[in-house]
Structures are given as structure tokens and as C-alpha cells.
Amino acid sequence: MNAEFLEAIEQIGKEKGIDADVLFEAINAALVSAYKKNFGTAQNVRIDIDRASGQVKVFALKKVVEKATNKNLEIDLEEAKKINPNYQLNDVVEVEVTPKNFGRIAAQNAKQVVIQRIREAERAVLYQKFLEKENEIVAGIVQRIEKKTVFVDLDRAEGILPPNEQMPNEEYHVNDRIRVYILEVKKTTKGPQIIVSRTHPGLIKRLFEREVPEIVRGEVIIKAIAREAGSRTKIAVHSTVPGVDPVGACVGQRGMRVQHVLDELKGEKIDIVKWSSDPAEFIANALSPAKVQSVTIDEKEKAARVVVPDHQLSLAIGKEGQNARLAAKLTGWKIDIKSESQVDKL
């Protein structure tokens, strides 16, 4: 190994954020293994790399005994004293055993180890980078589609969009640009495995954060989200600052803010409702766009009975019960909806 190669190792270490000592320790271990494999498996050896000149030396470690029975591991006391008169029984003597062509083997192994460590370090950096982005949204490009699973290029890493995390009304094509929610990041030997989603309610939350400065500033808080991906979402918002309309802030001037979110969701509908600490008021708001006449609360059962005008019943329940179902999920209350006529008959 020449001095230029060692300088390169130092430089690579700095660029990749790897301590050069870590690289040299790995190289050292690899060279010990290479020596034992090629020149003598029975020996205990130590490798010395001169980090200035690049010279590599191999030393066999031998225990001092009266009479050696295993020349690979032991040395006679008499022979040891020829090396240094101070050696005593049970001391360990280092005897240089550097093979003639070991420099070439050393350079070869060093290169392989450095490459391997760099790959490991890059995988570790990528893993940490995306671990910090868990529960965030990122932009990516559809790379390929295999058995309904979509693989997304996320800049030096690959996101996996499984079928159950895909919106039912969306079609994906190679080179499509999409935003995805990072659901989970797992560490593997081949680098981070990044599971992403288009159906998670967190995607809605992050999209609104991108469009509504009041949310970023903490003036408007998203209190709850109920979502049936690809179809409809209900989002409950609350203002922490007097005079700030939380629903208006999310809708934006001429509906521009919410429209940007809708554009990203390819036709999914969104109801933005005002959150309230009063369960009756919150449930009434959650059933929007239906108009509610009255809400009766049963605290013990955490159930609510809602009465709506006759002409609002189908709207309150929604197609296939979706509006009522999402309102229940949003508020956390069981909701029983009746029309005025149905209540009068009771």
C-alpha cells in the first residue's frame, strides 16, 4: 500500500463521515484474516501498517516456554533471549513473518474493506436520514411497478408503496411524480427499507401543513382526521388565537389552499369542520354538510342521538353511510341519526 492510497483512505473517511481509525481497524482485521488464509492459519499474528509510508509488516505472536512443542505458537526461552535478554517464561514475543508478496495482498484486501465500509456507512447515513423523515411527506418518482407494488425513487433510496397503502382511485405509471407519506423505515443489510403510503391520514395532515401557515405557526391546530382514502376525509380544526377562523384558514382565499390539497389527492373530497370541546357541538359540526337540529349526549355509553330535518337525513347519513361513519370516527362517539318524522313517531 502506497502513501497515496493511505491519504485517499483518510480523505474518503472525511467525506463519508467515517473515522479513519475505524477504516484502518477494519483493514487490519481483514489483513490478519488474509494472512491466516494464505500463509498460516495456526499462527496468532499482528499486522502493523505504517500510516505514513504504507509499509505493511506481519508479526507472529509466540509464547515463551522452556521448550517449544508448537513452533507456530511458542518459542524456546533460549531463542527468545537471543532476540531480547529481558524475555521471561510466559512472555509474548513478536517475530516478523512478513511474506514477500504480502504487500499486494494487503492492498487488494484494503481496497475491498474500504469499499465495503463506505457502502455500510452510506447505508447508515441513508437509514438515519429517512428515519428522521418518518411520519413526513416526501416527493418521489415512480420507478417501477411489480405485482401491484409501486417502487418510488426517493433520491438515493427506494420507497415501497404496497397495494394496501395505495389509493383505490389512483393509477400509477413509471416516471409519475407523487408525494408519499413515510410510514416506516427498517434497517436491512441492503440499506433502509422505506414503506410509504398514500392512504394514511397523516398524508392529509402534512399536506395541510404545507399549505396553511397558521398551522405551522400553531395558530390553527388539526385536532382529528377521519379518512376513507380516495373517497372522503373529514378534518377537525381548532384556533388557538382569538379572531382566527380555523376553517377559513384551511380553505384559503377563494378556496385555493384546500384546492392544492385536493389536487394532490386526485378527487378525494374533504370536509373541514370546526372542533369543539362540547361533544354535542362537535358532533353537529362533524356531520357537515348536513344541518343538524339537535344532539342528545349519553356520556356513559359515549353515544349521541342526532335529529335532522327530514330533507337532510340522506345527506347526514351519506352514501352507504359514509358521512355518519366518518363523523363517528372523527369524534370518537357512536352516532344514531334520526329524522324529525322518525322521532315524532316514537
Taking the C-alpha atoms of residue 209 and residue 215, their distance in angstroms, rounded to an integer, is 6
Residue 133's pLDDT band (boundaries 50, 70, 90)?
very high
pLDDT at residue 201, rounded to an integer: 96
User: Which residues, other chains included, contact 101 with Cβ-Cβ below 8 Å and sequence gap of 6+?
Assistant: none
Residue 1 pLDDT > 90, yes or no? no
280-346, which class in CATH?
Answer: alpha beta
The topology (CATH level 3) of 3-130 is: N Utilization Substance Protein A; Chain:P; domain 4 (3.30.1480)
Domain parsing of the chain, residue ranges: 3-130, 135-197, 200-275, 280-346
pLDDT at residue 54, rounded to an integer: 78
Helices marked H in the chain — which ranges? Answer: 3-16, 20-39, 77-83, 102-131, 201-211, 213-216, 246-251, 256-264, 279-286, 313-317, 322-331, 340-345
Sheet containing strand 269-274, strands side by side: 220-228, 232-239, 269-274
73 backbone dihedrals φ, ψ, rounded to 5°: -115, -15
What the block records as the C-alpha cell of 247 is: 376553517
Calculate what percentage of the chain has a pLDDT beyond 90.
66
Residue 5 pLDDT > 80, yes or no? no
Residue 272 pLDDT > 80, yes or no? yes
The pLDDT tens digits for 39-65 are: 766 678 888 888 877 788 889 899 999
The pLDDT tens digits for 310-320 are: 999 999 999 99
Average pLDDT over residues 171-193: 93
Question: Could you check whether 200-275 and 280-346 share the same CATH topology?
Answer: yes
pLDDT at residue 273, rounded to an integer: 97
Q: Where is pLDDT greater, at 110 or 65?
A: 65
135-197, which class in CATH?
Answer: mainly beta
Concatenated DSSP letters of 244-261: --HHHHHH-GGGHHHHHH
Residue 32 pLDDT > 80, yes or no? yes
Q: Where is pLDDT greater, at 133 or 99?
A: 133
What the block records as the C-alpha cell of 169 is: 382511485
Residue type, 155: D
Q: Where is pLDDT greater, at 280 or 24?
A: 280
DSSP code of residue 310? G
User: Which residues, other chains included, contact 106 with Cβ-Cβ below 8 Å and sequence gap of 6+?
Assistant: 1, 31, 34, 49, 56
Report the chain's mean pLDDT, rounded to a whole number.
91
Residue 110 pLDDT > 80, yes or no? no
Residue 326 pLDDT > 90, yes or no? yes
Taking the C-alpha atoms of residue 227 and residue 237, their distance in angstroms, rounded to an integer, is 15
CATH number of 200-275: 3.30.300.20
